[in-house]
C-alpha cells in the first residue's frame, strides 16, 4: 500500500512538469487579508477567484482579484494605496509578471532594487524573493493576583529569513524560519505552563528559573499544478485556517505548524480542499524524545450559491494508528462517517456548516455550526444531555461604518458546549502539540469579540479590541467538559449539562494598538492591553493585568495574545 501512495505522489509530480500555474500563498495574519475582505464586500459580490474562507489565499488569486478591483470597485485614496502596496508585494503575479515597485535608492545597486524585497531575481524561468525577518518588542506589565501586585519588564525578539519563488513556472516554493526569544505576560506564561506548549509553536526550551522561552518557528512548502488552473497540490509544514471570523470553530492557525498535503480544486463557483495532516497527540514534556503522531484528514467544500451568498460543508476525522496512516482516509470524496463505520472504527469524526452573505456592499454576515456528536431527540429536549456536543459562531463585519471612510467594525459571538472537541480516546481529541486545533478556549464557553479598525492616514493602522467570555472550569479533579484533553468517558453527569458547566469564570480583555508603516513592511507598534479574570466564588483570587508595549518589526505579522 505504501508503494501505491508513493507512486500516486510521483504521478502528481509528473503531471506538474507538464503544467503551469503553480503559486505560493499569502501568509496568515498579513494585513492584505483585511484588504481582500473589505474590497470583496464593497464589490457587492463574491469572487470565484478568492474563496477567503479557505485560507491561506494564493498570491495568484489575490493579484488577479486586485487587478479587477482597481477598475470596478469604488475605492478611497487609502484603499488605492493599500491595493498598490499589496500588488507590489506579490508583483510576480501581475499581468506583466513585474508588478513589484522599483525602489528609488537601491542598496549598492544590488539589494532592495524592488521596494518590498531585499533580494529580487526575476528571469524567464526563475523567480526568487528573499527578505530578512526582524522584530523586537519591549513590554511593561503590572499584574495582580488577589492582593499581591507585581511589575515586570518583558521583551520578545525574532530573527530569521523568508524566501519564495518558482522554477520554470511549474514548481512554487516557500520557506520561513525565525529564532525567537520571548518573555510573555503573566497570564500567557500560566497558559504555557499548564499546557506545556507555547501558542503557535512546537518544541521550545525554557529554564525553570527564567522568564524566557526560546523556540524556532519554521514552515515551508512546495506547490505544483496537477490540472492547470483547476487543481493544485501543496506539500509542506505550515498552518491552515477555515472560516471568515476572528476565530474558527473548524480549523484555526492557533496551534503549531504541521506536516500536510493539500489538494485544492477550484472550478466554476466551487472550491474544494482536501488536507491530510500529521499532527502531535498530547504529551508530557521531559527529556528529548521522538514524539508519536496522530493524523487528521479534512474536507472543506465551499460554493458561491449566489453572487452574495457562500455556503460551506466541513468534515474532519482525527485518528491514532501508532504512527501509520489509515489509507482509507485518503479518499478525496466528502462524507467520512460511512468510511469510519465501514472500518468498524471509533475515530473522531466532526462535521460543520458555514455561511457568508454580503449585504448592501457594506455588511458581511458569517457563521459556523460545528457538530461533534449529538442525538436529535436529546438535542431538542431540555434535559441537557452531556453528549450534545456542538459549537456555534455568528458574526458581522461593517465596512466604512457610519459613512466614515476606512473605519471597519466587526462583532463575533462564539459558543461551544462542554465536552466538544474531546474524545473517548484522549489521544484522538481535536488538538495538536498540546494546543486546540480550533478555538483557543477549547470547550464550555460563551465568547464575544468586538474589533474596530481605522486608517486615518495611509501609513497608520489603528485597532481596538474588546473580548469578553464566560467559561466553565473543571475543579476537584472532576471532568465537567471544559478541558478537551480529557476523555469524555469521565464526564460527571449524564444530564443537566449547561453551556457553562462547573465553576464559572469571567474574563474581559481590552487592547488598543497603533502601527505605523515606516517603509514597505517595516512597522513601529505601540499598544496597551488590560485584562481582568474573575471566578464565580471569592475563594479563587481575582487576576488583573495591565501592560504597555512598543516595538519594531520587519516582514513579520504582529504577535498578539488576545485569546485567553
81 lies in some domain: yes
115 lies in some domain: no
- Structural domain count of the chain: 1
- Computed over every residue of the chain, the mean pLDDT equals 90
So what's the pLDDT on residue 335? 67
So what's the pLDDT on residue 17? 47
At residue 262 the predicted structure's pLDDT band, cuts being 50, 70 and 90, is very high
pLDDT average, residue stretch 230-235: 95
pLDDT above 60 (res 533): yes
At residue 539 the predicted structure's pLDDT band, cuts being 50, 70 and 90, is confident
540 Cβ contact partners less than 8 Å away, ≥ 6 residues apart: 503
pLDDT average, residue stretch 19-26: 75
pLDDT above 50 (res 6): no
pLDDT average, residue stretch 355-370: 97
508 lies in some domain: yes
Structural domain boundaries, residue 503: 18-100+126-284+291-554
At residue 5 the predicted structure's pLDDT band, cuts being 50, 70 and 90, is very low
12 lies in some domain: no
120 lies in some domain: no
At residue 19 the predicted structure's pLDDT band, cuts being 50, 70 and 90, is low
So what's the pLDDT on residue 376? 77
362 Cβ contact partners less than 8 Å away, ≥ 6 residues apart: 41, 42, 398, 399, 400
110 lies in some domain: no
So what's the pLDDT on residue 386? 93
Q: What is the pTM of this model?
A: 0.93
So what's the pLDDT on residue 280? 93
List the single range of 11-25, 326-340, 492-506, 528-542 with lowest mean pLDDT: 11-25
SS3 for 336-401 is: CHHHHHHCCCCCEEEEEEEEEEEECCCEEEEEEEEEEECCHHHHCCCCCCCCCEEEEEEEEEECCH
118 lies in some domain: no
pLDDT average, residue stretch 146-162: 96
So what's the pLDDT on residue 343? 52
So what's the pLDDT on residue 433? 95
So what's the pLDDT on residue 559? 87
DSSP letter string over 462-504?
EEEEEEEEEEEE--TT-B-S--TTS-GGGBS-SS---SS-SEE
C-alpha cell, 42 = 464593497
So what's the pLDDT on residue 229? 86
559 lies in some domain: no
At residue 174 the predicted structure's pLDDT band, cuts being 50, 70 and 90, is very high
Q: CATH no. for residue 91?
A: 2.40.160.130
pLDDT tens digits along 303-319? 999 999 999 999 999 98
Amino acid at each position: 500500500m505504501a508503494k501505491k501512495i508513493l507512486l500516486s505522489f510521483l504521478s502528481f509530480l509528473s503531471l506538474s512538469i507538464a503544467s503551469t500555474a503553480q503559486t505560493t500563498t499569502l501568509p496568515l495574519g498579513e494585513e492584505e487579508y483585511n484588504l481582500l475582505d473589505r474590497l470583496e464586500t464593497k464589490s457587492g459580490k463574491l469572487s470565484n477567484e478568492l474563496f477567503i474562507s479557505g485560507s491561506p489565499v494564493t498570491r495568484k488569486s489575490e493579484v488577479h482579484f486586485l487587478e479587477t478591483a482597481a477598475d470596478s470597485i469604488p475605492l478611497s485614496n487609502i484603499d488605492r494605496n493599500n491595493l498598490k502596496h499589496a500588488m507590489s508585494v506579490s508583483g510576480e503575479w501581475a499581468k506583466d509578471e513585474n508588478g513589484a515597485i522599483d525602489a528609488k535608492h537601491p542598496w549598492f545597486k544590488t539589494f532592495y532594487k524592488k521596494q518590498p524585497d531585499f533580494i529580487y531575481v526575476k528571469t524567464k524561468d526563475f523567480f526568487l524573493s528573499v527578505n530578512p525577518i526582524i522584530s523586537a518588542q519591549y513590554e511593561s506589565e503590572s499584574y495582580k493576583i488577589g492582593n499581591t501586585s507585581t511589575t515586570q519588564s518583558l521583551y520578545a525578539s525574532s530573527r530569521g529569513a523568508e524566501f519564495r519563488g518558482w522554477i520554470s513556472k511549474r514548481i512554487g516554493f516557500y520557506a520561513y524560519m525565525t529564532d525567537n526569544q520571548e518573555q510573555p505576560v503573566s497570564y500567557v506564561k500560566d497558559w504555557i505552563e499548564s499546557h506545556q506548549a507555547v501558542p503557535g509553536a512546537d518544541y521550545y526550551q525554557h529554564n525553570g528559573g527564567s522568564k524566557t522561552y526560546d523556540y524556532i518557528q519554521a514552515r515551508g512548502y512546495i506547490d505544483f499544478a496537477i490540472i492547470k488552473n483547476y487543481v493544485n497540490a501543496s506539500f509542506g509544514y505550515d498552518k491552515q485556517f477555515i472560516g471568515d471570523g476572528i476565530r474558527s470553530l473548524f480549523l484555526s492557525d492557533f496551534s503549531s505548524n504541521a506536516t500536510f498535503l493539500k489538494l485544492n480544486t477550484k472550478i466554476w463557483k466551487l472550491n474544494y480542499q482536501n488536507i491530510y495532516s500529521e499532527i502531535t497527540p498530547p504529551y508530557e514534556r521531559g527529556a528529548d524524545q521522538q514524539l508519536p503522531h496522530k493524523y487528521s484528514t479534512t474536507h472543506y467544500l465551499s460554493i458561491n450559491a449566489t453572487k452574495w451568498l457562500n455556503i460551506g460543508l466541513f468534515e474532519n476525522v482525527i485518528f491514532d494508528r501508532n504512527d501509520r496512516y489509515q489509507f482509507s482516509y485518503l479518499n478525496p470524496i466528502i462524507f467520512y462517517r460511512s468510511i469510519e463505520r465501514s472500518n468498524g472504527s471509533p475515530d473522531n469524526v466532526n462535521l460543520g456548516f458555514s455561511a457568508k452573505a454580503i449585504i448592501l456592499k457594506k455588511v458581511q454576515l458569517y457563521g459556523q455550526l460545528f457538530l461533534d456528536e449529538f442525538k436529535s431527540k436529546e438535542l431538542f429536549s431540555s434535559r441537557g444531555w452531556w453528549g450534545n456536543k456542538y459549537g456555534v459562531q455568528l458574526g458581522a463585519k461593517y465596512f466604512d461604518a457610519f459613512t466614515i471612510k476606512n473605519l471597519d467594525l466587526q462583532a463575533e459571538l462564539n459558543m461551544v458546549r462542554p465536552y466538544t472537541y474531546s474524545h473517548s480516546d484522549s489521544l484522538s481529541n481535536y488538538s495538536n502539540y498540546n494546543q486546540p486545533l480550533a478555538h483557543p478556549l477549547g470547550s464550555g464557553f460563551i465568547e464575544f469579540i468586538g474589533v474596530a479598525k481605522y486608517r486615518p492616514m495611509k501609513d497608520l493602522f489603528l485597532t481596538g479590541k474588546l473580548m469578553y467570555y464566560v467559561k466553565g472550569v473543571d475543579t476537584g479533579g472532576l471532568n465537567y467538559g471544559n478541558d478537551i484533553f480529557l476523555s469524555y468517558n469521565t464526564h460527571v453527569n449524564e444530564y443537566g449539562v449547561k453551556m457553562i458547566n462547573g465553576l464559572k469564570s469571567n474574563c474581559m480583555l481590552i487592547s488598543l494598538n497603533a502601527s505605523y508603516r515606516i517603509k514597505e513592511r517595516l512597522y513601529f507598534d505601540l499598544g496597551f492591553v488590560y485584562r481582568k479574570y474573575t471566578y464565580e466564588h471569592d475563594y479563587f483570587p481575582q487576576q488583573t493585568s495591565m501592560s504597555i508595549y512598543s516595538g519594531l518589526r520587519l516582514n513579520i505579522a504582529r504577535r498578539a495574545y488576545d485569546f485567553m
